[in-house]
Amino acid sequence: MNKAEARVQTIVLVEDEPAMMDEIKGELESKGYLVRPASIAQAADAARVGDAAMMIMDRIVFGEDSIVTLEALRKEGVKVPVLVISALSSVDEKVKGLKAGGDDYLTKPFAMVELSARVEAMLRRLDDVRTTKLRVGDLEMDLIEKTVHRASNRIELLPREFRLLEYFLRHPGRVITRAMLLQEVWQYHFSLETNVVDVHISNLRKKIDTKGTPSLIVNIRGAGFMLNANP
């Protein structure tokens, strides 16, 4: 447990559907977060005084579009990370949600593991510092030299493999879904019916893993993958 996790983080949740509210609350509380349900106005207040580590906002809450408030908050300079969830699935709506200041956008229906993975990634993003080197165990990535070493052995990676590994190294010990990888590494905003991502991961594993030791990247059943933070 590092310091960031020792402190209980409050997530403000704006959602008018009781069942969805319960599910999200249950999922995130099981991950150790404090979830505070709120109206749009309450959420805005919490964001202004810095009471929220992040916010999850449903697009349409009791007939009101929450991104209007989000836009206003961003204009005021409020920087709290916001995950927008919505049944409005069109690409245009997604763009609208992100333009208004949302940091990520999830379309209903989604799996809870997808939600919590994204929440963790977003909270993690805050801790990002301008590092030039990323390290997990004896695996080290130099962001300036664009090189990767495992126990002083140089590993040659294709550009795309490099970015894939970089994403894992930036989120060690976190569940990362296939959709997140598609979106963040390849910038593909659609779902796939093939297991291409798994093939990419398995190719990456072949290059970075050492024989006889468990893989650095583990499969999380029904969710995605995770980089073992303490190998």
Partner 1 sequence: MRILEFFGSSAVRVALAFVLVTTVATTAVFGLVYLRIGEANEARNRVILETEAAKSVDRSVEELKGAFEVRLTNDLRRIDYAALFDSNRKVMFGNIDALPPIPVDGKAHYVATMHVPGSDNRIEPVIFVARQRPDGNIMVLGRSLLETLAFRRTVQSALLAGLAPMLLLALAIGAYFARRSSRRLTAIHDTIARIMKGDTDLRLPVGARHDPIAQISRDVNLMLDEIGRLLVQLKGVGDNIAHDLRSPLAVVHAQLERGLESSSDEQLRTVARQALAHIDKAMLTVAALLRLADVEYSPTSRNFQSIDLSAICADLFEFYEPLAESKSIKMTLETKSPVQIQGDGDLMREAVSNLIGNAIKFTPENGSVSIAVFRENGLPVVRVRDSGIGVEPAERDKIFQRFYRTSSGHRVPGSGLGLSITAAIANLHELDLRFNDNNPGAVFEMVGRRR
DSSP classification of residue 149: E
- Bridge partners for 35 per DSSP: 11
- Write down how long the chain is: 231
Tell whether residue 200 is a contact of partner 1 (CB under 8 A).
yes
Q: How many residues bind partner 1 (CB under 8 A)?
A: 25
Tell whether residue 190 is a contact of partner 1 (CB under 8 A).
yes
Residue 224, by phi and psi: left (phi above 0), alpha (psi -120 to 50) or beta? left
Alpha helices in the chain (DSSP H): 3-6, 18-30, 40-48, 66-76, 91-99, 112-127, 159-170, 178-185, 196-208
Indicate which single residue of 2, 90, 152, 213 sits in contact with partner 1 (rule: CB under 8 A): 90
Tell whether residue 183 is a contact of partner 1 (CB under 8 A).
no
Q: Which of residues 203-222 bind partner 1 (CB under 8 A)?
A: 203, 221-222
Which of these segments, 28-36, 47-55, 91-99, 139-147, binds partner 1 (CB under 8 A)? Answer: 91-99
Q: How far is the CB of 143 from partner 1 (least distance, A)?
A: 22
The SS3 of residue 121 is helix
Give the burial class of 85: count Cβ atoms within 10 A of its Cβ; 0-12 exposed, 13-18 middle, 19 or more buried. Answer: buried
Tell whether residue 62 is a contact of partner 1 (CB under 8 A).
no
Tell whether residue 191 is a contact of partner 1 (CB under 8 A).
yes
Main-chain dihedrals φ then ψ at residue 80, nearest 5 degrees: -55, 135
Residue 42 or 107 with smaller CB distance to partner 1: 107
Residue 89 or 131 with smaller CB distance to partner 1: 89
List all residues 6 or more positions away from 144 whose beta carbon is below 8 Å from its beta carbon: 132
Q: How far is the CB of 151 from partner 1 (least distance, A)?
A: 25
Indicate which single residue of 30, 195, 210, 219 sits in contact with partner 1 (rule: CB under 8 A): 195
Tell whether residue 196 is a contact of partner 1 (CB under 8 A).
yes
What gap in Å lies between CA 226 and CA 178, rounded to an integer? 11
Q: Which of residues 108-147 bind partner 1 (CB under 8 A)?
A: 109, 111
Indicate which single residue of 132, 194, 213, 230 sits in contact with partner 1 (rule: CB under 8 A): 194
Q: SS3 helix, strand, coil % of the chain, rounded to 5?
A: 40, 25, 35
Tell whether residue 79 is a contact of partner 1 (CB under 8 A).
no
Binding interface with partner 1 (CB under 8 A): 89-92, 95, 107, 109, 111, 160, 186, 188-196, 199-200, 202-203, 221-222
